[in-house]
Amino acid sequence: MKILFSFFTVVFLVLLVFAGATTGNKYVLFLFGVIIPYAAFATFLLGFIYRVVQWGRSPVPFRIPTTCGQQQSFPWIKQNKIENPSTTMGVIVRMALEVFLFRSLFRNLKTELRDGPKLSYGSDKWLWLAGLAFHWSFLIILIRHYRFFIGEVPSVIHLIESLDSFLQVGVPLVYITDAVILAAVTFLFLRRVYIPQVNYISLAADYFPLFLILGIAISGVLMRYFIKVHIVGVKELAMGLISLNFMAPAKNLQEIGVIFYIHLFLISVLFAYFPFSKLMHMGGVFLSPTRNLSNNSRMVRHINPWNYPVHVHTYEEYEEDFRDKMKAAGLPVEKE
Amino acid sequence: MATKLPKPDELAKIDFTPPETGWMDTPVEIKPGMFCWGAKAKNLRAVEFPNARDWSPAEEDWKLPGEWEGTVLEAMADRLSKYRSFKLFMDICVRCGACADKCHFFIGSGDPKNMPVLRAELMRSVYRKYFTTPGKVLGKLAGARELTYDVLKEWWYYFYQCTECRRCSVFCPYGIDTAEITMMGREFTNLLGLNTDWIAGPVANCYMKGNHLGLEPHTIKSSIEFFLDDIETVTGIKIEPTFNRKGAEILFVTPSGDLFADPGTYTAMGYLMLFHELGLDYTWSTYASEGGNFGYFTSNEMAKRLNSKIYAEAKRLGVKWIIGGECGHMWRVLNQYMDTWNGPADFLEVPKSPITGTVFENAKSTKMVHITEFTADLIKNGKLKLDPSRNDHLKVTYHDSCNTARGMGLLEEPRYVIKSVCNNFYEMPENTIREQTFCCGSGTGLNASENMDLRMKGGFPRANAVKYVRDKHGVNMLANICAIDRATLKASMEYWVPDVTVCGTHELVANALVMKGEKERTQDLRLETLPGKEGN
Ligand code: SF4
Ligand code: SF4
């Protein structure tokens, strides 16, 4: 149900833009080619900032890192400076490992109950591998697309492109990342369907972005390898968009080709959807208090901005309650 | 309830297949053996908690106050604005499921709502409904649902089936700590008077009498005197500790559980013997006679109220610094909360061992040192005369408490101490110790007797790892540094791995400690004859 709903939502989006783009009407094309992308990007940018600011407005009252290694104690006990950092430098390294290499996911285990009863914890790196493959290929593809937005393609982009099509001859070069992202997203989808527990926790909001990204990748692949589009028109449009020159791209809109509009529209939807969704984990991971704080709260006092005085049971009240018993037991008292 | 507890091989038949119906459409079933009795009115009144009344989770009617939904939602809005962790963790979970099979309660019960991610979704779904646009507009489709009586019951049931152990948080790619969500869940239920009596009772005791067990000052003294007699029997040495003594250099605070029941009592004897041997200028307090903090299992405010006694007493007595005994959640609180709540402790001095001269730099602000840090330093500097062969009949393994492992990182100090006093030490499998350690199954105030099913299920992964080293190496002693562990692991070992005994680390230390002027030891602290000394 959740799967079908998400799937058909994406199908509907494709049909919508397909219907629009095939009309060839220049106003409709202007809508899909210029207005929607702008609106989507603006939503993404403002929404993303808004969400991060909202998180930032809630303070971090306590220093609660999840310590995953030995604390700092004596010089003769080796501290794990990354998994249990006591300095900012340590935190930076810990966060870098988390953000770039998905350190915590790398720990993943599969717990199994065998006869005996015996529990075993096998290493299970598939989720980590697929997650890493997905995110990195997405990033590289994004960077590759920069070539459309700039007149003179910078050499870094060329370098990335040649690395991405490493060891190949022939035209067009097949980008490794194109294959990887399709495989990774498919894997992430299948595990959601077939692992009973993961299936049980999944919401429509988990399937929708997967289908959307799959749609984007497929349309992109189709466009690059199978259905030719008017590449000059695409580049004009892209450069017009980025230089905020609204009218420039309008000339060749009709020539570009429907598949391009599908690709662009799905990307626009993804961008617009981003700030309202779990995809915000991209920003959130940086703010996670169990990872981005050093474990130094016994060395430096952490301040809670809303710390307030509380009602306590004082020693005087306690002695009041027990003075006679204390005296009888020979315990010292303040007031005789 | 305990009588109905199934046999271990029955309990170990765990069904991991999720129900046919989606989790939102599967109403909570409050099962006997899985929950603790409701908090009694008198215990909530003692600490001025709202909506105090006698109630029973087993009954249909929980006698909720009117307008309870408003109370919860208002509190939720408030906590969202006060805790970035809460707000962020409501928003960024991608439901990847990496945390799912990391929770001991899920592993032991197979109940999908015990997967950390789903436990959190129980709250997230309500958050979405009232605090996010997609949730308001799309409702169930966006994973949102209304806060109903049933949902509240479900919250209560599952937030009191989480021991805030943070194992899930180790594996989550964003560090989402379900314990943070459980804490909020418990704050909300406490606003409605929905606590358990196993937590509310100790909280009331601790507030009024200084410790969870409600030991009054003279009883604390007499309990300890009772230990002194046993120590004299074993060592021939008469120890005279002091209580509430002004001008002592060090205040010693430990969980009251160690004064009350075996095997914690042997750990307490261990402290007494160690400090006596060193000639340490220290004092016990009857007012700050609790290191643990059951308030932490109710609300942030209550935790702070209970914790305040430690600094207040240190100040009143004019000590220079504080040593804290063996306890798990106590040390999470001391490490991550105490200074923030009740500091700065500028009336104390940076802790410096009077025996070795070592300055405890890592505690220079809170001024509170963990007993295994203190002892490890003594041993490293050769200040203790030890005869580890006295522990030769023991094959020891070590259980990391969740809190000292994942909320502090105290991993090597206790190991160093144990290995210095025992010749036979074996680690449990790597995925069950250190930062990946498994909860005893009964933390956060779940160590009652009416919820034995839950406790044994949650204790299964830990016990299973102990069984592994028992079978492989013949391990017969499970050492730890936690008063709750000493009580709960004892029960879980008796159930799952009956031939393994439980002890505190300082019991082992005291058994190995060669004291000045002691008689030849023929018994250990349990008054059991040492092997080879039968003839004496
Ligand atoms: S590991 Fe983290 S992101 Fe994944 S389901 Fe669990 S809480 Fe959510
Ligand atoms: S904190 Fe521990 S008990 Fe709670 S959900 Fe996470 S793993 Fe389970």
Task: Write the DSSP assignment of A236-304 as a string of letters.
Answer: HHHHHHHTT-SSGGGGGGGGS-HHHHHHHHHHHHHHHHGGGSGGGHHHHGGG-TTTSS-S-TTTSPPP-
Interchain proximity B368–A307, CB inside 8 Å: no
> Pick from B122, B178, B112: which is nearest to B153 by CA?
B122
Specify the ligand 1 atom closest to the Cα of B171: 1
Task: Please state, in angstroms and as integers, the Cα–Cα distance from residue B360 to each residue in A155, B8, B281, B291, following that order.
Answer: 54, 45, 17, 20
Say whether B127 sits in a helix, a strand or coil.
Answer: helix
Interchain proximity A290–B118, CB inside 8 Å: no
| Amino acid at site B131 | F
pLDDT over threshold 50, residue A240: yes
Pocket of ligand 2 (CB under 6 A): B 102-103, 105, 116, 119, 162-168, 178-179, 182
To test the ligand 1 pocket, which listed residue (B85, B88, B172, B180) has its Cβ within 8 A of the most ligand atoms? Answer: B172
Interchain proximity B304–A310, CB inside 8 Å: yes
What residues of chain A lie within 8 A of the CB of B408, using their CB? 67, 71, 295
Q: Which two tokens stand for residue B478?
A: 């499970």
pLDDT over threshold 90, residue A336: no
How close B410 comes to chain A (CA, Å)? 6
What residues of chain B lie within 8 A of the CB of A201, using their CB? 23, 95, 97, 100, 112, 115, 117-118, 121
Residue B140: half-sphere exposure toward Cβ, Cα within 13 Å: 7
Strands (E) in B285-341, as ranges, are 321-324
Sheet holding B396-398, edge to edge: B396-398, B477-480, B501-504
Specify the ligand 2 atom closest to the Cα of B179: 1
pTM of the model: 0.96
Radius of gyration of chain B (CA): 23
Helix or strand (DSSP H, E) at B469? helix B452-473
How close A282 comes to chain B (CA, Å)? 8
> Which among A113, A278, A298 has the least Cβ separation from residue B93?
A278
- Pick among B339, B428, B433 to test the A interface (most A CBs inside 10 A): B339
Centre of ligand 2 from the C-alpha of residue B166, in Å = 5
pLDDT at A243 (0 to 100) = 85
> Which among B95, B287, B362 has the least Cβ separation from residue A315?
B287
How close B71 comes to chain A (CA, Å)? 20
Per-residue 3-state assignment (H helix, E strand, C coil) for B203-262: HHHHHHHCCCCCCCHHHHHHHHHHHHHHHHHHHCCCCCCCECCCCCCEEEECCHHHHCCC
How close A288 comes to chain B (CA, Å)? 6
B39 within ligand 1 shell (Cβ under 6 A): no
Interchain proximity B210–A318, CB inside 8 Å: yes
What residues of chain B lie within 8 A of the CB of A205, using their CB? 134, 142-143
Q: What is the pLDDT of residues A3-51, one digit of tens each?
A: 999 999 999 999 999 999 999 888 999 999 999 999 999 999 999 999 9
> Which residue has a Cα nearest atom 2 of ligand 1?
B172
Q: Where are the domains of chain A?
A: 2-328
As assigned by CATH, the class of the A2-328 domain is mainly alpha
What tens-digit pLDDT sequence spans chain B (536 residues)?
445 799 999 999 999 999 999 999 999 999 999 999 999 999 999 999 999 999 999 999 999 999 999 999 999 999 999 999 999 999 999 999 999 999 999 999 999 999 999 999 999 999 999 999 999 999 999 999 999 999 999 999 999 999 999 999 999 999 999 999 999 999 999 999 999 999 999 999 999 999 999 999 999 999 999 999 999 999 999 999 999 999 999 999 999 999 999 999 999 999 999 999 999 999 999 999 999 999 999 999 999 999 999 999 999 999 999 999 999 999 999 999 999 999 999 999 999 999 999 999 999 999 999 999 999 999 999 999 999 999 999 999 999 999 999 999 999 999 999 999 999 999 999 999 999 999 999 999 999 999 999 999 999 999 999 999 999 999 999 999 999 999 999 999 999 999 999 999 999 999 999 999 999 999 999 999 998 887 65
Contact A188, A209 (CB under 8 A): no
| Amino acid at site A138 | F
Centre of ligand 2 from the C-alpha of residue A51, in Å = 27
What residues of chain B lie within 8 A of the CB of A198, using their CB? 95-97, 100
Task: Please state, in angstroms and as integers, the Cα–Cα distance from residue A55 to each residue in A293, B82, B85, following that order.
Answer: 16, 10, 9
Contact A121, A110 (CB under 8 A): yes
pLDDT at A242 (0 to 100) = 86
**In degrees rounded to 5, what are phi and psi of residue A110?**
-115, 120
Centre of ligand 2 from the C-alpha of residue B114, in Å = 8
Cis amide prior to B65 (ω within 30 degrees) = no
Q: Which two tokens stand for residue A266?
A: 């799905």
DSSP string, A185-224: HHHHHHHHHHSHHHHHH--HHHHHHHHHHHHHHHHHHIII
> Which residue has a Cα nearest atom 1 of ligand 1?
B172
> Which residue has a Cα nearest atom 5 of ligand 1?
B95
> Pick from B292, B373, B285, B302: which is nearest to B332 by CA?
B292
To test the ligand 1 pocket, which listed residue (B88, B92, B93, B171) has its Cβ within 8 A of the most ligand atoms? Answer: B93
CA A208/CA B441 separation, integer angstroms = 37
How close B377 comes to chain A (CA, Å)? 8
Tokens 């992202």 locate to A181
* Structure confidence at residue A235 as a pLDDT band (50, 70, 90): confident
Q: What is the pLDDT of residues A243-295, one digit of tens each?
A: 887 676 666 788 888 999 999 999 999 999 999 999 999 999 999 999 999 99
Burial of B247 (0-12, 13-18, 19+ CB in 10 A): exposed
* Structure confidence at residue A168 as a pLDDT band (50, 70, 90): confident
Interchain proximity A331–B286, CB inside 8 Å: yes
Interchain proximity A201–B112, CB inside 8 Å: yes
Centre of ligand 2 from the C-alpha of residue B455, in Å = 14
User: Would you give the distance in Å from CA A32 to the centre of its chain?
Assistant: 26
CA B120/CA B14 separation, integer angstroms = 22
Specify the ligand 1 atom closest to the Cα of B97: 5
- Pick among A82, A297, A334 to test the B interface (most B CBs inside 10 A): A297
Residue A146: half-sphere exposure toward Cβ, Cα within 13 Å: 16
Helix or strand (DSSP H, E) at A323? helix A315-328
Mean pLDDT across chain A: 94
Contact A262, A222 (CB under 8 A): no
CA B94/CA A282 separation, integer angstroms = 10
Chain A residue with minimum CA distance to B87:
A55
Centre of ligand 1 from the C-alpha of residue B176, in Å = 7
DSSP string, A299-315: TSPPP-TT--------H
A-B Cβ pairs (cutoff 8 Å, strict): 314
Centre of ligand 2 from the C-alpha of residue B406, in Å = 12
Helix or strand (DSSP H, E) at B10? helix B8-11
User: Would you give the distance in Å from CA A211 to the centre of its chain?
Assistant: 16
Interchain proximity A306–B112, CB inside 8 Å: no
Cis amide prior to A172 (ω within 30 degrees) = yes
- Pick among B402, B435, B460 to test the A interface (most A CBs inside 10 A): B435
Contact A307, A234 (CB under 8 A): no
Centre of ligand 1 from the C-alpha of residue B329, in Å = 24
Contacts of A275 (CB under 8 A, 6+ apart): A43, A44, A46, A47, A48, A50, A51
B98 within ligand 1 shell (Cβ under 6 A): yes
Q: What is the pLDDT of residues A182-203, one digit of tens each?
A: 999 999 999 999 999 999 999 9
Centre of ligand 2 from the C-alpha of residue A149, in Å = 48
B509 within ligand 1 shell (Cβ under 6 A): no
> Which residue has a Cα nearest atom 7 of ligand 2?
B103
